Amino acid sequence: SNVSSSIISSSMVSSSIISSSIVSSRRSQQAQQHSQLSQQSPKLQCSAAVDAFSLPSYDGCRSSSAGFVDMICAFQTLQIDASKIRSDRGGEPLQSVMGRGEPPEFPVYTKGAFTIKQTPRMPPTGRPMRNLHHVQSILDAMQVGDTTTCETTWPGTTLLVTRYEYVNLFHTTTDWWNTFFVLPHDAKQPINIVFLDAHAEGILDPVWTQLFANYTFVKHLPHTKTCFERAIVVPPGYDNVLFRRRGKLPCDSAEMVEIFAQHVLQSYHLEDVQQIPGKVIIIDRVPFISHPRAKAASFERILRNFDELQQLIQQIPGITSVHLVRLEQLPFAEQVREFRSSQIVIANHGAGLTHLLYAHRSVNILELSSNHLNFFAFMSQLKGIHHEYINMRATSNRRIPQHAMGKIVGRVRTLVGA
């Protein structure tokens, strides 16, 4: 029988675009939204909430009342039959698969790809289960049967991860968030990661190892049938508060973000990096090829006169340094260090702003944007840091308009007390 018969499929969440010509109105709405989230949160310290968060004690899925993620699925002695998973191998050198389409990178399962010992328990029929995405296809391909025919068994806890936008820092951070909050933090046994996707090598792959554990691709497993002592299906990155920008939080939002950020900082020994008064960084996006379908010619949101902005800001009293930072050319740890050591960050709208999670709370974020997509404004509010938009309006020549240039310089003067 279909083990996921009680699960309600849901369609892919599409990001909501919030446009407003009045920036102050937009900020007011966001502040009200953050206030409502805070009021909904119970009086519970986040560290206690993380410790209290538990996986299902049974094979199956349940909704999470903790609020870190919406749903969690865990199984004891799960068997994977790689012969019933259709995809490319994954992990190939990027240059060897340039031009490859996306479908071969996402697994297609047939019945029996996953086997468990007993019928899994699912939430009551009719209970909403939002944003299942790849989890639904895993459940549909699952069967109850004999799990004693495995050629090898991995001990400890194995995290089964399906990545979507695997080289995008923002989307990958939502995956890291979910992985962190479903991890058994008191685990004394090995932690492993199996990527069920078949993406090529990506620039963020090494971060998975640094933050969590070594990984392998499901198509790289040495045996056709492999068993896992305990398996956790990590929810999709689209299923958490960073992406949805709404929902009931289990505790104070700033503390919740800080717990996650501290894990990242400690993993790279960056927790003691101090903010440098008067340090400004300007994030300068440059074209780069990160996945098989990327084309440098179509790289978006590039501005060509950041050097002019840099020269103007350097003349402001109280400014100690102004760096043009090209994140694509820096190791992940150095990217984080740049954000953590800065007092002011100026950046066009883009995934690199996700690093604000690791900055000090006294940082100031100036986001250049013409559409007011509010991912980073909301993320700033969750963390409790200052964020504001610099309205770019539409510009076709890839240059910061003079009105925006003046606004940026004026705001920097104010922020450093000049």
Q: Residue 391: what pLDDT?
A: 87
Whether residues 195 and 321 share a domain: the answer is no
CB 3 within 8 A of CB 120: yes
Highest mean pLDDT among 7-16, 132-141, 182-191, 244-253: 132-141
Domain membership flag for residue 105? yes
Residue 24 has pLDDT above 80, yes or no: no
Tell me, yes or no, whether 290 and 388 share the same domain. yes
CATH code at position 293: 3.40.50.360
The tokens for 270 are 């960056």
Residue 200 lies in a domain: yes
With bands split at pLDDT 50, 70 and 90, how would you rate the model's confidence at 238? confident
* HSE (side-chain half, CA atoms, 13 Å) at 236: 21
Poorest-pLDDT segment among 167-171, 182-186, 231-235: 182-186
Same domain, 239 and 288: no
- Mean per-residue pLDDT for 338-356? 96
Asked whether residue 13 carries a pLDDT value surpassing 50, the answer given is no
Q: The tokens 């990958």 sit on which residue?
A: 172
Q: In the listed set 193, 222, 244, which residue is the last one of a domain according to the structure?
A: 244
Report pLDDT for 398.
Answer: 81
Co-location of 296 and 226 in the same domain = no
- Extract the tokens encoding 312: 């103007």
The DSSP secondary structure of 73-125, one letter per residue, reads EEEEEEEEEGGGEES------GGGGTT--SGGGS-EE-TTSEEESSPPB-PPT
Q: How many domains does the chain have?
A: 2
> Do 190 and 97 belong to one domain?
yes
Q: Under a CB-based contact definition with an 8 Å cutoff, are residues 292 and 99 in contact? A: yes
Phi, psi dihedrals of residue 137, rounded to the nearest 5°: -70, -30
Residue type, 317: P
- pLDDT above 90 covers a percentage of the chain that reads 58
Listed residue (301, 327, 332, 328) closest to 399, CA to CA = 301
Question: Distance of CA 112 to CAs 61, 121, 143, 173, 222, Å?
Answer: 18, 18, 6, 31, 18
215 and 285 both lie in a single domain: no
Which of 244, 262, 294 is at the close of a domain? 244
Residues 220 and 341 in one domain: no
Within this chain, do residues 212 and 298 fall inside the same structural domain, yes or no? no
35 pLDDT band (50/70/90 cuts)?
Answer: very low
Clarify whether residues 203 and 317 are in a common domain: no
Residue among 235, 223, 161 nearest 194 (CA) = 161
Note whether residue 18 is domain-resident.
no
Q: Is residue 309 part of a domain?
A: yes
In the predicted model, what is the mean pLDDT of residues 315-333? 96
Is residue 160 within 8 Å of residue 269, measured between CB atoms? no
Predicted confidence (pLDDT) per residue in 182-228, tens digit: 887 666 678 999 999 999 999 999 999 999 999 999 999 988 899 99
CA distance 290 to 411: 34
Mean pLDDT of the chain: 83
- Same-domain status, 97 and 202: yes
205 and 67 inside one domain: yes
Distance (Å) of CA 227 to CA 25, 80, 276, 372: 54, 6, 50, 47
pLDDT for 160 equals 97
Q: Write the CA distances from 364 to 292, 322, 387, 415, integer angstroms.
A: 35, 14, 6, 8
Which of 244, 270, 297 delimits the end of a domain?
A: 244
Residues spanned by the domain of 379: 279-415
- Per-residue pLDDT averaged across 293-297, rounded? 79
**Residue 81 placed within a domain:** yes
Is 303 in the same domain as 359?
Answer: yes
pLDDT band at 12 (very low <50, low <70, confident <90, very high): very low
Please give the angle made by the CA atoms of 203, 205 and 210, to the nearest 5 degrees.
120
Asked if residue 315 is part of any domain, the answer here is: yes
SS3 call for 151: coil
* Model confidence at 7: pLDDT above 50: no
Band of pLDDT at residue 394, cut at 50, 70 and 90: low
